[in-house]
Structure 1
Amino acid sequence: MGIDIRQATPNDAPAACELLRRAIEEGCAADHGRRAEILQPWLSNKTPRNVSTWFSSPSNYAVVAIQGQDLAGLALLTQAGKLALCYVMPGQWRNGIGSAMMRAVEAQARAWDIAKLHMQSPASASAFFERLGYVNAGKDMACFGLECDFLWKQLNAVEPPVGKRFCNCSGK
């Protein structure tokens, strides 16, 4: 069964919200350890209304992955170069869904003339992004209290320098 990657619409919000919540609760369990003080803040803004707003914003580019009739993944890029979301439905991992969504958001970043992407990733997902060329620059604290890995990628570089933290500085 093929994967269809397309731009998300506000109509996708209810299914996308359910996917986000399941992916965080189940897929990221090793990261949050079912600790309410992390899990509840992480899930608190994952509502259909908020997701619809994110999908409607002209400063965001969101894609969904459809497999058969089901929503299997979603990713969201901001015009500031932040990969704000990239989640695949539990049970659908390692089927090429995440890689296909990342190709789509990276293509949009290039269309927006964004040279570097950055993100905070739960430790359990960092190896996936590293395989796609993202540099793990160390630990960072997410706004909801989870210690994450800070990753970045120079989009047009042949080989990004290892270990350098993303910034908007002059490269010194």
Structure 2
Amino acid sequence: MNEDIRLHGIERVRPATAQDAIPAVEVVRQSIIVLCAADHRNDRATLDRWLANKRPELFESWIAESENFCVVAESEGVVKGIGLLHGSGEVRLLYISPGYQHRGLGRGIHSALEGHARSLGLPKLRLESTLLARKFYEALGYIPAGAEKSRCGVLRVYPYEKPL
């Protein structure tokens, strides 16, 4: 991805940099805490486990890893979304800030990740969705790819894949 993807004039998707670590991690943490409440059911142990590796120094290592492709979505110049694709075809992160859903940020992030996957010649994308995000991924063309699994305590995830 050599260029930014412009969305609705004030919103864009661009490659992540180390300077995005703090705001990007805050997006992920707030999205999990607020938007995924139905998934973690406000279970403190589940939240603690889910958030344990969501730290700026780890984010910096994730974007520095050559196997990862990471983008951020901005609204009015502020990071409001994050996506990370591993070279294996696994979408490992796709989070939007509370209050910024349904603005095209998630679709823009996904478009950038999918475009990169296609440029690598990957046959499909894979991910594990929360219950909350299933409709979003299904609207993007993902299909169920296995039985639900337990993660981090009470959290349930659902394997999905999308042929490219």
Assess same fold via TM > 0.5.
yes
Please name the residue that 1:77 is paired with. Answer: 85
CA contact (8 A) 2:151 2:157 kept: no
Q: Is the 8 A contact 1:120 1:142 kept in 2?
A: no
Indicate yes or no: 2:64 matched with 1:56: yes
Residue 150 in structure 1 maps to residue 148 in structure 2: no
> TM-score if structure 1 supplies the norm length?
0.86
Amino acid of the structure 2 residue aligned with 1:13:
A
> Which of these residues, 99, 109, 113, is aligned with residue 105 of structure 1?
113
Pairwise CA distance, 1:138: 4.5
Residue 111 of structure 2 aligns to a residue whose secondary structure is helix
C-alpha change, 1:10 and 1:42, in structure 2 (3 Å) is same
Q: Is 1:13 matched up with 2:21?
A: yes
What RMSD over aligned residues (CA atoms) do the two structures have, in Å? 1.2
Whether 1:96 and 2:104 are equivalent positions in the alignment is: yes
Task: Render the CA deviation track for 1:10-64: whole Å, top value 9, x for unaligned.
Answer: 1100110111100000010010001022111100000000011111111000000
- Unmatched runs of 5 consecutive residues or more in structure 1: 156-172
Once the two structures are TM-superposed, the CA of residue 140 in structure 1 deviates from its matched residue by 2.9
Q: Which has the higher contact order (CA 8 A, sep 6+)?
A: 2
Mapped to 2, the partners of 1:111 and 1:99 lie a distance apart of 18
Residues 66 and 101 from structure 1, CA distance in 2 versus in 1: closer, same or farther, beyond 3 angstroms?
Answer: same
In structure 2, give the amino acid aligned to 1:29: A
- Residue 111 of structure 1 aligns with an amino acid whose one-letter code is S
TM alignment of 1:25-64, pairs within 5 A: 25-64=33-72
Q: How far apart are the structure 1 equivalents of 2:14 and 2:117? A: 15
Q: Give 3-state SS (helix, strand or coil) of 1:93's partner.
A: coil
In structure 1, give the amino acid aligned to 2:75: Q
Q: Give the AA of the match of 1:27.
A: L
Q: CA deviation at 1:72?
A: 1.1
**In structure 2, what is the Cα distance between the partners aligned to 1:11 and 1:55?**
11
Q: Report if aligned partners of 1:6, 1:65 keep a CA contact under 8 Å in 2.
A: yes
CA deviations 1:135-155 (Å, max 9, x no partner) are: 023443254242111111001
Q: Distance in 1 between matches of 2:151 and 2:87?
A: 19
Pair 1:35–1:63, CA change in 2 (3 A): same
Aligned residues: 155
Aligned residues: percent identity?
35
Structure 2 gaps, min length 5: 1-8
